[in-house]
Amino acid sequence: MKNEKLLALMDAKGISRAKLATLSGIPATTLNRIINGQILHVKTTQMQAIAKALNTNVHTIFQIAPRELPLSLAIRPEEAGDSITKLLTNDESLLLYWYQNALLEGRTAILNRAQTEFHKAQMEISQKASGLKSSAKISETYEQLTLNFANTTSETG
């Protein structure tokens, strides 16, 4: 199945397959196989090169499940607010619509929830990266030790 997002973005930017091959450094035959959907698992470096050549991010072009996404491809905070061209998923489009058409209290609620979910995700990523489990599970694995010290000093008079 052809990568329609990639083709649409190339068309919007007026970039041919040959030009994209040159800009990305990916051989034209490999790029054609990626575009035509003949390569099922595109290498991360190739996805990054194509996205960089088209001045966009990997999510705009490729369907990547969150579990398959390396942390190096995550959108960085300093990229927030940059002008980008992105084909939105139905969920992203709906969320943006709700935000744009909500009252101030609704926007605040949406942003607060997003911030809470962001911090929760960052904690989970951090725990996975360091090989730790959640603190609740860790505390269950420890046993409480009770030490009974008897008074061993004697009074001599």
Does pTM surpass 0.75?
A: no
CA distances to 26, 30, 51, 87, 114 from 90, rounded to whole Å, are 31, 30, 21, 10, 18
The predicted model gives 64-84 an average pLDDT of: 55
Residue 30 exposure: Cα atoms within 13 Å on the Cβ side: 14
Residue 16 structure tokens:
């041919």
The 8-class DSSP code of residue 56 comes to: S
- pLDDT class of 139 with cuts at 50, 70, 90: very low
Distance in angstroms (rounded) separating the CA atoms of residues 17 and 21:
6
pLDDT at 63 (0 to 100): 74
Query: Nearest CA to 58 among 123, 129, 68?
Result: 68
Sequence-distant (≥ 6) Cβ neighbours of residue 70 within 8 angstroms = 44
Residue 74 structure tokens:
């995550």
| Of the options 1.20.1250.20, 3.40.50.1370, 1.10.260.40, 1.10.10.10, the CATH number for the domain spanning 1-68 | 1.10.260.40
Map out the domains of the chain as residue ranges.
1-68, 88-145
Task: Read off the pLDDT of residues 82-137 as tens digits, 9 standing for 90 and up.
Answer: 665 566 677 777 888 888 888 989 888 888 898 888 888 888 877 777 776 555 44
- Is pLDDT of 68 > 90? no
Distance in angstroms (rounded) separating the CA atoms of residues 142 and 63:
42
Distance in angstroms (rounded) separating the CA atoms of residues 58 and 47:
6
Cα angle 127, 51, 130; round to 5? 10
